[in-house]
């Protein structure tokens, strides 16, 4: 496990999100996952998403994944993103301190809209999507909803973050402290990159697995 984390810093953030903890000594990946009740294939799949650009899992590998661990990872990611957005807000507040009211209002407008969209996205998943996945696993799925409806209405939570990033890079007044601007941009770039991986887990792991479970249940009741 230590060798795996050492191989790519992107994997560092995966450890707490899947429910593992540091201090795994010389445990192998399988041993560390077993001690924490985590499916090793699920963990390795999520590591691959975070460490390899453009990685997409095969349908065969998806059959080895525990969808419960995927949902737990996504839920923990929501907490991480909320904390990251709050930290970004603090950084923005310090960065725009010397700006006049015009620039302050523009920056806060884009950031506020982004944060509101982020919370709506998470709330929809927490109240609708994740409970639906759990109902499918218990063979009590909602007949008025399918996982493909979620995919069709899946909002792009990165677009407004990209707008904010471009405003900070292109249009901030010269009096803004360079170090504080760098801090904000670093947080935005990091969050943006992580959200792309999060979207892959939702669209290319969660959706196809649940879609297959829906099909299996339909066939079983036919």
Report the candidate in 84, 162, 155 with the shortest Cα–Cα distance to residue 125: 155
- Note the pLDDT of residue 26: 94
* % the chain with pLDDT above 70: 95
Summarize the confidence of residues 107-125 as an average pLDDT. 91
Q: Is residue 163 over pLDDT 90?
A: no
Instruction: State the virtual CA torsion across 156, 161, 162, 163 in degrees, nearest 10.
Output: 110
Report the candidate in 129, 130, 195, 123 with the shortest Cα–Cα distance to residue 157: 195
- Note the pLDDT of residue 31: 96
Q: Within 10 Å of residue 21's Cβ, how many Cβ atoms?
A: 10
- Note the pLDDT of residue 216: 80
- Note the pLDDT of residue 144: 79
Q: What is the rounded CA–CA span in Å between residue 135 and residue 182?
A: 45
- Note the pLDDT of residue 154: 67
Q: Is residue 55 over pLDDT 60?
A: yes
Q: For 21-25, 110-114, 138-142, which range has the lowest pLDDT when averaged over its residues?
A: 138-142
Q: For 24-28, 48-52, 157-161, which range has the lowest pLDDT when averaged over its residues?
A: 157-161
Residue 63 pLDDT grade (very low, low, confident, very high; cuts 50, 70, 90) = very high
Q: What is the pLDDT of residues 165-207, one digit of tens each?
A: 999 999 888 888 999 999 999 999 999 999 999 999 999 999 9
Question: Helices then strands (H, E): number in the chain?
Answer: 12, 0
Q: What are phi and psi of 81, to 5 degrees?
A: -70, -35
Summarize the confidence of residues 68-91 as an average pLDDT. 95
Which pTM value belongs to this model? 0.89
Sign of the alpha-carbon dihedral angle for 30, 60, 157, 152:
negative
**Unique residue bearing structure tokens 């079983």:** 220
């Amino acid at each position: 496990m230590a060798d795996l984390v050492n191989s790519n810093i992107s994997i560092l953030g995966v450890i707490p999100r899947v429910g593992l903890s540091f201090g795994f000594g010389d445990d192998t990946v399988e041993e560390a996952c077993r001690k924490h009740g985590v499916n090793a294939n699920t963990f390795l799949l999520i590591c691959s998403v975070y460490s390899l650009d453009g990685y997409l899992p095969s349908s065969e590998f998806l059959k080895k994944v525990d969808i419960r661990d995927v949902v737990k990872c996504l839920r923990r990611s929501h907490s991480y993103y909320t904390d990251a957005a709050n930290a970004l807000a603090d950084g923005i507040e310090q960065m725009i301190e010397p700006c006049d009211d015009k620039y302050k209002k523009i920056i806060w407008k884009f950031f506020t809209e982004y944060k509101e969209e982020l919370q709506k996205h998470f709330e929809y998943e927490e109240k609708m999507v994740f409970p639906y996945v759990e109902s499918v696993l218990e063979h009590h799925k909602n007949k008025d909803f399918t996982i493909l409806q979620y995919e069709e209405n899946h909002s792009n939570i990165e677009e407004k973050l990209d707008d904010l990033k471009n405003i900070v890079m292109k249009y901030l007044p010269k009096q803004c402290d360079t170090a504080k601007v760098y801090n904000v941009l670093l947080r935005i770039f990091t969050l943006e990159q992580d959200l792309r991986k999060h979207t892959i887990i939702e669209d290319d792991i969660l959706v196809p697995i649940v879609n297959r479970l829906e099909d299996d249940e339909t066939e079983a009741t036919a």
